[in-house]
Amino acid sequence: MLLNQGQAAPATPDNLVSDTTAQTFMKDVIEESRTRPVLVDFWAPWCGPCKTLTPTLEKVVRAAKGKVKLVKMNIDDHPQIAQQLGIQSIPTVFAFVNGQPVDGFMGALPENQVAAFIERIAGKTEGGIADVVKTADEMLAAGDAAGAAEVYAQILAEESDNVAALGGLARAHIEAGNTEAAKQTLSLVPKGKENDPGIAAARAALELKEKAASVGDLSALEAAVAANDKDHQARFDLAVALNASGRREEALDHLLTIVRRDRKWNDEAARKQLVQFFEAWGATDEMTVQGRRKLSSILFS
């Protein structure tokens, strides 16, 4: 369960939005996130979408009246933290709670989606249903898809539009092999919340599940790659199959091999597949962070 948070400082317009550096990140973000959630906006002066997102973030954070704080980091001046988190495109926003990144998104989301994101992050510290969702998430991560599905369903019986529970229930159905039930669950997502990170992750996981069913037998694909190390299509299909089997690191390595050897192969199919993996795994997942870091080192070397 989440640690109890301390008492936040009184909310004023001046202390809700600030800039940070690599030297002050620990104090401004890690330590501050132990009293209230902190959003970190990774941006750069040359980034057009950043100029749209940052004012929106500032507006919604101030409207939240102290539930969260916004800290902005210019990655041109301070690239170290972004590199450590595996960020490869901006704008990117990470939310920190109790010293750890717990969620995030990429791109210039509209104001209503930013508000929904902040509402969900603030809920991580408010107990109640948010704690129940976290319990279900932990059950799902531990492999108890059936038990998690039951808890998510109980949440939805109380809050039918709870986006976190809808995304979780869809993922539980996917883990159990019930793709039709997952599709039905995703069809219940309220209008305007289709791009919520949890929903996007569930949708990506569903697409990967269906794609894996079409690529063929895992052992046959392994044999094909062993027979012809330069067969990019067999290696690509093998990565999809390996991911579906829970062998994510191997799947990651095969796609990175394709990008390293021929990044433009099949209209950058390997890079695009990696991006879908990252979306399905979640922005703060260890394999996502590791994969982004490795992909960036290839693309920008």
Encode pLDDT of 88-110 as tens digits.
889 999 999 878 888 889 999 99
Q: Which among 47, 155, 241, 289 is annotated as catalytic? A: 47
Looking at residue 28, its pLDDT comes to: 92
Residue among 94, 71, 76, 92 at smallest CA distance from 25: 71
Which residue has tokens 């450590």? Answer: 84
Q: Which amino acid is at 32?
A: E
Q: Is 68 helix (H, G, I), strand (E, B) or coil?
A: coil
How high is the pLDDT of residue 168? 95
- Phi–psi pair at 221, nearest 5 degrees: -70, -40
Q: Which two tokens stand for residue 144?
A: 């108890």
Write out residues in the chain with pLDDT < 50, as ranges. 1-13
**Catalytic-residue membership of 140:** no
Q: Looking at residue 155, what is its pLDDT?
A: 84
Helix axes 286-299, 248-262, angle to 10 degrees: 10
HEC secondary structure over 74-131: ECCCCCHHHHHCCCCCCCEEEEEECCEEEEEEECCCCHHHHHHHHHHHHHCCCCCHHH
Spatial distance between the Cα atoms of 191 and 31, rounded to a whole number of angstroms: 36
Q: What's the confidence (pLDDT) of residue 128? A: 55
Active site residue 24: no
**Is the whole model's pTM more than 0.85, yes or no?**
no
Taken in order of first residue, the domains within the chain and their CATH numbers are 13-123 (3.40.30.10), 129-212 (1.25.40.10), 215-299 (1.25.40.10)
- Check 16, 39, 50, 204 and give the catalytic one: 50
Give the whole-angstrom CA distance, residue 27 versus residue 189: 38
pLDDT in tens, 218-234: 999 999 999 999 999 99
Strand, helix or coil for residue 39? strand
How confident is the model at residue 127, as a pLDDT?
A: 52
- The pLDDT of residue 32 is 86
